[in-house]
A and B are shown apart, each in its own frame.
Chain A
Amino acid sequence: AQSVSQHNHHVILSEAASLELGCNYSYGGTVNLFWYVQYPGQHLQLLLKYFSGDPLVKGIKGFEAEFIKSKFSFNLRKPSVQWSDTAEYFCAVNNKAAGNKLTFGGGTRVLVKP
């Protein structure tokens, strides 16, 4: 069974600091990888996705992520965070062979202090 690990449960930053959230997955087959964001009181929104091609993918709101196949990792980065980036971030892996099911990591709560 596939699994997704997010190593940081809580991150506290000041505005303009850089952010990097780790994500590792275990699955031997071809994967699609996603980062979702959930702002307080809202539903999940897609930040970015990797299907194939360039392993460095750019998403909305200045976020990017790098897929490193040899490390089974898909870390999320943002060079300079804003207070509005306060949210919970979820990494997810898609299993195309089984109904396109997504397996989520446990989430990382990010608090950006103004």
Chain B
Amino acid sequence: NAGVTQTPKFRVLKTGQSMTLLCAQDMNHEYMYWYRQDPGMGLRLIHYSVGEGTTAKGEVPDGYNVSRLKKQNFLLGLESAAPSQTSVYFCASVSGGAGEYEQYFGPGTRLTVT
């Protein structure tokens, strides 16, 4: 199993550009999450999904959109990037089965918006 993978690993955008981050998991997990990590603030939840075709807002959803068209993929979109979105983005997934609460994290995407 590859676990949770993220594409790309690094990206530099100019203000106003758009991009999509891809998260893929091969563990047949129901739940998927997008976080951003900023110094001193831990990880903050952007959006999450409790199953294929569903999405919900997290703690810091503004400026981001997501889609979960396939169970194994969770896409995070930035329609018009801003410097405040410079961050490291982590995707995670959870099985969703009874008693299965551990989140498995991807390797992260480092995004810089200039």
Closest B residue by C-beta to A44 = B105
Hey, which bits of chain B sit against chain A, CB under 8 A? 31, 33, 35, 40-45, 48, 50, 56, 58, 90, 92, 94, 96, 99, 101-103, 105-108
Contact: B42 with A106, CB < 8 Å? Answer: yes
Contact: A101 with B48, CB < 8 Å? Answer: yes
With contacts A43-B108, A107-B40 taken as known, whether A101 is within 8 angstroms of B58 at the C-beta atoms is: yes
Interface segment, one of A62-70, A78-86, A92-100: A92-100
**Shortest CB distance B15–A (Å):** 27
Inter-chain contacts of B105 with A (CB < 8 A): 36, 43-45
* CB-CB nearest 3 A-B residue pairs: A104-B42, A44-B105, A104-B43
Inter-chain contacts of A51 with B (CB < 8 A): 99, 101
Contact: B106 with A106, CB < 8 Å? Answer: no
Contact: B102 with A99, CB < 8 Å? Answer: no
A102 at the interface (CB under 8 A from B): yes
State in angstroms the CA–CA spacing of A51 and B56 once bound together: 25
Inter-chain contacts of B41 with A (CB < 8 A): 106
